[in-house]
Amino acid sequence: MTSATPVSAAPDAPARPSPTVPAAAPAPTGRRSARRRELGACGVLMTPFFVLLVTVFLIPVGTAVYLSFFSDDQPGLGFGPERTVFAGLRNYSAVLTDPTFLGGLGIVALYCLVYIPLMVIGALALALLLDSGVVRLRGTAQLALFLPHAVPGIIAALIWLYLYTPGISPVIELLGKADITVDFLGVHTVLPSIVNIALWSNLGYNMVVFYAALQAVPREVIEAAVVDGAGPVRTALRVKAPLVRSSIVMVAMFTLIFALQLFTEPMLLSQSTPMINSRFSPSMYIYDAAFTRNNYGLAAAASVVLLLCTIALSYGVTRWTNRANAAEEDTR
């Protein structure tokens, strides 16, 4: 299990060089034993984490990949000995030709396209507004905006589910008084409703991240822009925003990674609306395949596909920002 750590367990190092040892002492051995002690300590500090890394990360990922190439043949009614047979790429072709899985991928793609720009632009805009110095009660506003981060995802989904439910929701009642009827869980509104839950949960958190980064922008840079005649809007968009580019990339990346795992919100909403089926998103598909249909090979193949999509998109974002950075350097 501990093979992931390159260093062995702490070796005994009795030759502890004390400061009183004369400088003429055999330096090479002293240095070598000090080095050995360092590696030993390093091993002790790193081993717990790497044991976890191997057991709850590497082995499971390996198992998922392995399982995706096998399938269970259940003779008869599922009684009798189960045989696991090598299936080659059969699971993958099954997943990739399954319209419910592809539909789920499409929904998550649409969700990302709507949610990520709204989140990044909204959080950045709020951070820039709060940083502009004209907002009253700035500290209070920040805490209020941050509050939803302390609300667990499932509870955020519960709150909004009730706010979407006719008969309970004051929102629907108010809209009703203005003769507007909205079905928040209808066929075209269910995805925006999910986007809204995610946005509500994470907007304030990402705003605080951007705000923290903006605080680190040197004040002289901004003063210089103002002296050059840039108005507050221009300063915010042309000077401040580009200077926090690295945190924009980080927020976009994390938002993307979590958006691709879309599970909790639709899972909860599916209890109340037929518009969300049990394979609404890839993660729900995996759950359904593994624990409802007990088709481990199919679930594993879908997991690997989702993992590859995540890696490809993250890599794409990194490459794209690196190139954008390089282009920016060239124009200077």
Partner 1 sequence: MSTSTAPRTAASLRPRLLGRSVVNLVVGISVLYTLLPVLWLVLAASRDRDALFSSSVLSLTDFSFVQNMKDLFAMDGGLYGRWYGNSLLYAVLGAALGALISIACGYAFDKYRFPHKEKMFGLVLAAVMVPQTVLALPLYLMASGTGLVNTFWAVFIPVLFNPFGVYLGRIFSQGYVPDEVLEAARMDGAGELTAYVRVALRMLGPGLVTVFLFQLTAIWNNFFLPMVMLSDQDLYPVSLGLYSWNSSASVSPEYYPVVIMGSLLAVVPLILAFALLQRFWRSGLTAGAVK
Residues 116-155 that bind partner 1 (CB under 8 A): 125-126, 129-130, 132-136, 138-139, 141-142, 144-155
What's the token pair of residue 163? 């706010």
Least gap, CB of 266 to partner 1 (angstroms): 12
Q: Does 27 bind partner 1 (CB under 8 A)?
A: no
Q: Does 111 bind partner 1 (CB under 8 A)?
A: no
Least gap, CB of 130 to partner 1 (angstroms): 7
Q: Does 48 bind partner 1 (CB under 8 A)?
A: yes
Among 101, 107, 286, 288, binds partner 1 (CB under 8 A): 286
Q: Does 91 bind partner 1 (CB under 8 A)?
A: no
Which amino acid, one-letter code, is at 193?
A: S
Which positions from 227 through 256 interact with partner 1, judged by CB under 8 A? 227, 229, 232, 244, 246-247, 250, 253
Residues shown for the chain: 332
Q: Does 53 bind partner 1 (CB under 8 A)?
A: yes
Closest CA to 264 of 202, 188, 313: 202
Which positions from 146 through 205 interact with partner 1, judged by CB under 8 A? 146-156, 158-163, 167-170, 173, 200, 203-204
Q: Does 44 bind partner 1 (CB under 8 A)?
A: yes
By beta-carbon proximity to partner 1, the closer residue of 190 and 330 is: 190
Q: How many residues bind partner 1 (CB under 8 A)?
A: 114
Least gap, CB of 152 to partner 1 (angstroms): 5
Q: Does 8 bind partner 1 (CB under 8 A)?
A: no
b vs e for 243-270, b when ≥16 Cβ sit within 10 Å of the residue's Cβ? Answer: ebeebbbebbbebbeebbebbbbbbbbb
By beta-carbon proximity to partner 1, the closer residue of 45 and 187 is: 45
Please state, in angstroms and as integers, the Cα–Cα distance from residue 106 to each residue in 102, 137, 255, following that order.
6, 42, 17
Binding mask 303-332 for partner 1 (x = CB under 8 A): xx-xx--xx--x------------------
Report the 3 state secondary structure along 118-184. HHHHHHHHHHHHHHCCCCCCHHHHHHHHHHHHHCCHHHHHHHHHHHHCCCCCHHHHHHHHCCCCCCC
